C-alpha cells in the first residue's frame, strides 16, 4: 500500500503508519461489510476485519497493482479470512454437539472439556498479543522469558500482555453467565 503521494516510507516509519491508517479508513467499510454479511455476527466481523488489515499490512510487499486494485486484493484476503472463521465456527459447533451428546449419554468428566471449549472461545476474543502470550504460557508451557525470546518482545511487554489477558479472561468468564 502506498501513501497518497505514491511513495512508501521506511518500514515502520511515519509514512507506514499514515498509509495503514488511510487504507483502514478507506476500505474498512468494504471489509467489515463483507465480513458482517457473511458471518452474521458483529464481533466475528470485527475480528475478521482486524485479521484482514493485519494480513494486508504484513503482506503488503506482495501486493501487485497490475493484478488488481487494492479493493480487490483486500476482498480476496477478506474472503479467505471469512472462510477460516466459518470453518472455526463449524469445528466449535461440532465439538459442543459431541460434548452435549456425551453428556446426555452420561459420560463422566465432560465438564472440564466444556470449560476448555469456553476458555478457548474467550481466548480467541482477546487481542492477538494477549492471546499469543497466554497460549504460549498455558498450551506450550513456556515461561515469560521464553515467550519474550520467541516473540522478540521485551519481557515487560510479555508480562503486561499476560496480566491484561488474564484479567480480561477472568472478567468475561466470571460475567459470562450474565453476558449475552
Q: Residue ranges per domain, the chain?
A: 1-125, 127-180
Rounded CA-CA distance 150/142 in Å is 10
pTM (2 decimals)? 0.52
Alpha carbon separation from 12 to 29, 51, 150, 156, 179 (Å, rounded): 25, 19, 21, 21, 39
What CATH number does the domain located at 127-180 have? 1.10.10.10
DSSP 107: -
User: pLDDT digit string (tens) for 12-34?
Assistant: 445 667 788 888 999 999 999 99
Instruction: Look at the domain 1-125 and name its fold.
Output: Rna Polymerase Sigma Factor; Chain: A (1.10.1740)
Which stretches within the chain are classed as H helix?
Answer: 14-39, 42-58, 70-104, 111-125, 128-138, 144-151, 155-174
Residue 142 φ then ψ, to 5°: -95, 150
User: pLDDT digit string (tens) for 60-100?
Assistant: 898 999 999 999 999 999 999 999 999 988 888 888 888 77
Amino acid at each position: 500500500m502506498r501513501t497518497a503521494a505514491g511513495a512508501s516510507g521506511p518500514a515502520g516509519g511515519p509514512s507506514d503508519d499514515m498509509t495503514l491508517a488511510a487504507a483502514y479508513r478507506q476500505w474498512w467499510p468494504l471489509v467489515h461489510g463483507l465480513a458482517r454479511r457473511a458471518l452474521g455476527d458483529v464481533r466475528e466481523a470485527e475480528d475478521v476485519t482486524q485479521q484482514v488489515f493485519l494480513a494486508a499490512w504484513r503482506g503488503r510487499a506482495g501486493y501487485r497493482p497490475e493484478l488488481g486494485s487494492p479493493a480487490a486484493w483486500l476482498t480476496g484476503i477478506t474472503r479467505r479470512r471469512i472462510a477460516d472463521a466459518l470453518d472455526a465456527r463449524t469445528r466449535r459447533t461440532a465439538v459442543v454437539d459431541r460434548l452435549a451428546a456425551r453428556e446426555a449419554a452420561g459420560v463422566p468428566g465432560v465438564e472440564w472439556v466444556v470449560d476448555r471449549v469456553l476458555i478457548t472461545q474467550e481466548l480467541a476474543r482477546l487481542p492477538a498479543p494477549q492471546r499469543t502470550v497466554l497460549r504460549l504460557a498455558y498450551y506450550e508451557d513456556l515461561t515469560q522469558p521464553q515467550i519474550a525470546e520467541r516473540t522478540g518482545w521485551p519481557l515487560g511487554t510479555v508480562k503486561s500482555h499476560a496480566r491484561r489477558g488474564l484479567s480480561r479472561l477472568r472478567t468475561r468468564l466470571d460475567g459470562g453467565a450474565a453476558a449475552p
